[in-house]
Structure 1
């Protein structure tokens, strides 16, 4: 088979099925990444969401014996929301990060990869494939960088010349010996804006992330949020875009190429107070199709409480008191008490002190104590 011609056919087909950019990389070991991942482990900078061992994450041949190349794809997503509702006093709203706008990108990319795989199978019946999107072992960013999709920025995102860093990435490991593309020789240069702008200092230095401090990670945790981060997340319900929105490479980058990735304003920027009483069924019906729902409603509700505290929204006091007194989940009861203290009205402190007389959970009582302490500040 003429694999050079076949590669051109694959590129042409990728455009037909709505892939915005495609690149080809060798399936060699990612040696530099392996060393970096081991260092991340030593420093305890990993999130814990990573899949597979360091070897599985850096050696494609372990995932597909006989692997010869990797096809990397990118889909651009919007950076601006049309007709975005305003968050105003008494009617505050939270926000999901841009990577959670529209349908769950895992499903969208899997659809494109499945179609691409079927095309390869039709043209080359001996093909062997393994596809991955985000939750697979391989680093989407490392593959994309090697395949010439873009370069790795100081914000730890792949930055493409065409779409900035507003792209979803996925890949197909294959036994077809496609010729590799050249990496993009661009860089951030002396620019350090994203590192300086990171709200929690999670970007330790350009290209190195302490995931344990990253708001994108913290908003997905299910336990009490550590105190030092509670005033940092603002109205973020899931994820964080700061290191992307401040990037000069992303200036004027806004693409609406895929209808399924368009945000529903009432989903991507929902009212906060109604989230506090939403049932599991209601949560699934409204948010179940977006990637930001994967951890369930508890982290979203906890973050909504922190956002209402951030706004010091007095209209939410009654609902927070109800949660503090009635919710069966200690994290929600305790965070509600902390939030009431942050809002800081006399009735808030009175409600906390009254609830303390009935509360038995030590962690919740600790949060109540912190809530009461706000009146001394």
Structure 2
């Protein structure tokens, strides 16, 4: 005769197994995100999702995990730290000839790392609950992972819309395991942002249009990763040397001063992507790009967007004859890239005429330098 399943004990074991698999925290919540639905609809109505048509296409399903995976009763939410040692934020952003890549993307693709660990966690639970049906997700389905993480007690939603944890800041990945057993749920934590607006102040393009609301169309992460077409001209000068993503809103967050560094070897920076000269990255042909970014999240933007982004960064760099030569050599490959090359060339010729004029460091860079002292040791 089988004994009834002790769900409270199982939930405790799940958290222990999750930590053994490398997750720094595991939380559990139900699937009810009905409070998020009007906020999601208002965000979509304002077109803040930009060209990410899938967000509108799936509509309210994103707030209904039980519709995405019928039978789902609980969501197991996990987080995994990714801040690498020697992140060199200000060092990279202060040198306009260096390509800045968001620190989450310097190592192995997190989708693969977290998904495999979540699958392992599901299989571990299955050993104790044979009838369990589970499905892992890592930013791979129309699901509101941040509200779920907040509901599961992982942290609170910051004004930059990311999840903040009191002990870990916001430098972590999220993942979800949907299960069909009624596990006991965790409680949300209190928000502790207070009156702080550091993330809003530090955003280069003003993408955080109001607390908790991000207009993706102005966000550098969206512009360099999600947007397939032309980057709006008025935003190009504000992008600086950021060629894949942006970390500025997290850099200014006071809670990230105590954020721990990652212990995952997979998330350590690749030398080919970290603190590398723009001209060196721009010289890659498509085969080299695919080789150097194999297993990296950077690969998902494809070669033409890679060239588009670097073209903009070269336009923002100080005048160099070598930059003009490199831009000229990249003409006539892709129409979208050509448009950005012409813009960058115009910027370079303008700067050539202005040589010798002293230019003060932009306000954005001065702000970044001012907060770097508060970042975690070795970051």
TM > 0.5 between the two?
yes
- 1:247, 1:84 → 2: CA distance? 14
Match of 1:8 in 2: 12
Match of 2:324 in 1: 317
* Secondary structure in 2 matching 1:283: helix
Change (3 A) 1:101 1:47: farther
Match of 1:21 in 2: 25
Change (3 A) 1:306 1:48: closer
Asked whether 1:244 is paired with 2:250, we answer yes
Change (3 A) 1:264 1:231: same
- Please state how far the C-alpha of 1:235 moved relative to its aligned partner: 0.5
Residues 119-198 of structure 1 mapped to structure 2, 5 A cutoff? 119-198=124-203
* Secondary structure in 1 matching 2:330: helix
Change (3 A) 1:229 1:84: closer
Match of 2:221 in 1: 216
Match of 1:225 in 2: 231
> Following TM superposition, where does structure 1 have runs of at least 4 consecutive aligned residues deviating by more than 4 angstroms?
82-91, 345-348
Match of 1:40 in 2: 43
- 2:43, 2:89 → 1: CA distance? 38
Match of 2:362 in 1: none
CA deviation profile, 1:324-343 (whole Å, cap 9, x unmatched) = 3xx32112222222211111
- 2:78, 2:256 → 1: CA distance? 19
* Secondary structure in 2 matching 1:115: helix
- 2:286, 2:41 → 1: CA distance? 39
Asked if the contact 2:84–2:269 (Cα under 8 Å) also holds between the matched residues in 1, the reply is no
- Of 302, 310, 330, which residue of structure 2 is paired with 1:304? 310
* Secondary structure in 1 matching 2:234: helix
Asked if the contact 1:106–1:133 (Cα under 8 Å) also holds between the matched residues in 2, the reply is yes
CA deviation profile, 1:120-170 (whole Å, cap 9, x unmatched) = 121111111122111212111011000000000001000012210101001
Asked if the contact 2:25–2:80 (Cα under 8 Å) also holds between the matched residues in 1, the reply is yes
- 1:208, 1:56 → 2: CA distance? 20
Change (3 A) 1:87 1:145: closer
- 1:192, 1:312 → 2: CA distance? 31
Asked if the contact 1:81–1:265 (Cα under 8 Å) also holds between the matched residues in 2, the reply is no
Residues 251-330 of structure 1 mapped to structure 2, 5 A cutoff? 251-314=257-320, 315-324=322-331, 327-330=332-335
- 2:51, 2:327 → 1: CA distance? 31
- Please state how far the C-alpha of 1:88 moved relative to its aligned partner: 11
Structure (1 or 2) with the larger CA radius of gyration: 1
- Of 328, 337, 340, which residue of structure 1 is paired with 2:342? 337
Asked if the contact 1:222–1:298 (Cα under 8 Å) also holds between the matched residues in 2, the reply is no
- 2:294, 2:184 → 1: CA distance? 40
Pairs aligned (count)? 345
TM-score, reference length from structure 1: 0.86
Asked if the contact 2:167–2:258 (Cα under 8 Å) also holds between the matched residues in 1, the reply is no
Change (3 A) 1:347 1:144: closer
- Contiguous gaps of at least 5 residues in structure 1: 349-377
TM-score, reference length from structure 2: 0.85
Give the aligned CA root-mean-square deviation in angstroms.
2.3
- Please state how far the C-alpha of 1:80 moved relative to its aligned partner: 4.3
- 1:155, 1:323 → 2: CA distance? 36
Change (3 A) 1:329 1:249: same
* Structure 1 stretch displaced more, 91-100 or 34-43: 91-100
- 1:238, 1:212 → 2: CA distance? 15
CA deviation profile, 1:41-83 (whole Å, cap 9, x unmatched) = 1100114434562221111221222221110000001154368
* Structure 1 stretch displaced more, 42-51 or 159-168: 42-51
